[in-house]
Amino acid sequence: MMFEHKSVLLHETIDSLQVKPDGIYVDGTLGGGGHAYELCGRLGPEGRLVGIDQDEDAIAAAAKRLAPYQDQVTIVRSNYEQMDEVLDELGIGKVDGIYLDLGVSSFQFDTAERGFSYREDAPLDMRMDRRQELTAADVVESYEEEELVRIIRDYGEEKFARQIARQIVKRRQEAPIATTGELAEIIKEAIPLKMRAVGGHPARRTFQALRIEVNRELEVLEKSIDRMIGRLKPGGRISIITFHSLEDRIVKNRFRENENPCICPPDFPVCMCGRKSKGKIVTRRPVVPTAEEIEENKRCRSAKLRTFEAF
């Protein structure tokens, strides 16, 4: 199966970076290379792109797609959490722009054996990086009930988290829960009949929660944004596309904190804490897909793009 992924907010994202022909840019979630291809088309011969992804299928697809620009592109299999180490190893200091597309690729969803989808019966996996040990099956089989409640409630924003966690624990005592199909069925049973028809597939939120837990998605995002901003040259920009409110809240809050880090009481006449602004928020409101883009790609309907410019 070919690695396919429609690049969400493609032109909006690359436009937001104000690409300099001789600049150095980092794509922290390379995926199939759609955004990267668009960016490379705007670089001159001196320009450079570093692409980072932890998924081997994505790396292979992006390398093929970016072959026309191979002299300017360096692809590294890693997590954007390690961006500092990746850039240090390449001898790169500050960069002109960084961008992240936090969506799961269509390829990952549609390749049944990756275990991301509740629509196909496959092993419960959900690892973006298949070199890591923890899988969704491990979470479902070994986490205590209260821990499952927390994950499903906080990461899935699922109001039936307790019922679902209780049902998982009950069923795993009878037999191991090994596949996506089995888990989807257990979740369905835990949700009251009249609520199943509302808000999409009943397993959607729980599957999102498990994926976030397995890949530490929110934790990685939370602790990486400040470091990425610190890696930008003055005037350099970071743009991040999020797909659910949890990610968007983190991006919005980290950008706000970097723009205005002062912790002095509001009634102080002058700042005494000495915390200096690292830059400014470019997008007071997030950029969202057009109706045409949503029509073409239903999976992009919740996407939001936010941009920050460093001082």
Which tens digit of pLDDT belongs to each residue from 264-298? 999 999 999 999 999 999 999 999 999 999 999 98
**Least confident piece of the model among 33-42, 67-76, 113-122:** 113-122
Cα 162–chain centre separation: 26
How does pLDDT run across 140-182, given as a tens digit for each residue? 999 999 999 999 999 999 999 999 999 999 999 999 999 999 9
Q: Are residues 23 and 164 in the same domain?
A: no
**How far from each other are the two terminal CA atoms of the chain, in whole angstroms?**
44
Q: How far is CA 41 from CA 14, 75, 86, in A?
A: 10, 17, 23
88, two tokens: 């240090």
Q: Which of 180, 215, 250 delimits the end of a domain?
A: 215
CA distance 51 to 59: 9
For every residue of 171-239, DSSP letters joined together read HHHHS---BHHHHHHHHHHHS-HHHHTSSS-TTHHHHHHHHHHHHTHHHHHHHHHHHHHHTEEEEEEEE
pLDDT at 168: 98
89 within domain boundaries = yes
CATH of the domain at 122: 1.10.150.170
Q: Mark whether 268 and 125 lie in a shared domain.
A: no
How many secondary structure helices (H) and strands (E) does the chain include?
A: 14, 7
d(CA 299, CA 104): 10
State the DSSP code for 103: S
Q: Is the dihedral of CA 248, 254, 258, 262 positive or negative?
A: positive
Q: Give Cα 284 to chain centroid, integer Å.
A: 21
Statement to judge: residues 248 and 188 lie in one domain: no
- Could you give the number of structural domains in the chain? 2
Is residue 5 in a domain?
A: no
> Which residues are bridge partners to 51 per DSSP?
27, 75
Question: In which domain, by residue range, is 179 found?
Answer: 115-215
* Pairwise CA distance, residues 305 & 8, whole Å: 10
6-22 pLDDT, tens per residue?
799 999 999 999 999 99
Q: Looking at the domain assignment, is residue 122 inside a domain?
A: yes
Answer with the residue of higher pLDDT: 176 or 103: 176
pTM of the model: 0.94
The string over 114-130, giving b where at least 16 C-beta atoms fall within 10 Å of a residue's C-beta and e elsewhere, is bbbbbebebebbbbbee
Hey, what amino acid is at 311? F
Indicate whether 96 and 34 sit together in one domain: yes
- Residue 252 maps to which CATH number? 3.40.50.150
State whether 138 and 98 are in the same domain: no
Tell me the β-bridge partners of 24.
Answer: 48
- 103 and 223 belong to one structural domain: yes
pLDDT, residue 4, reads 54
Q: Is 185 among the domain residues?
A: yes
Tell me, yes or no, whether 305 lies in a domain: yes
In a domain, 70, yes or no: yes
| 87 and 209, same domain (yes or no) | no
How many other C-beta atoms lie within 10 A of the C-beta of residue 257? 17
SS3 49: strand
8 A C-beta contact, residue 227 and residue 292:
no
pLDDT of residue 106: 72
Residue 41, domain member (yes or no): yes
Residues 72 and 206 in one domain: no
Nearest by Cα to 205 from 182, 218, 188: 188
Evaluate if residue 5 carries a pLDDT over 70: no
Residues 129 and 55 in one domain: no
One domain, residues 88 and 71: yes
Q: Which of 167, 190, 215 is the last residue of a domain?
A: 215
Q: Is 1 a domain residue?
A: no
Among 215, 239, 254, give the residue marking a domain's end. Answer: 215
Same domain, 122 and 185: yes
Q: Are residues 82 and 55 part of one domain? A: yes
Q: 50 with 29: CB under 8 angstroms?
A: no
**Least confident range of 46-55, 178-187, 199-208, 214-223:** 199-208
With H, G, I as helix, E, B as strand and everything else as coil, classify residue 258: helix
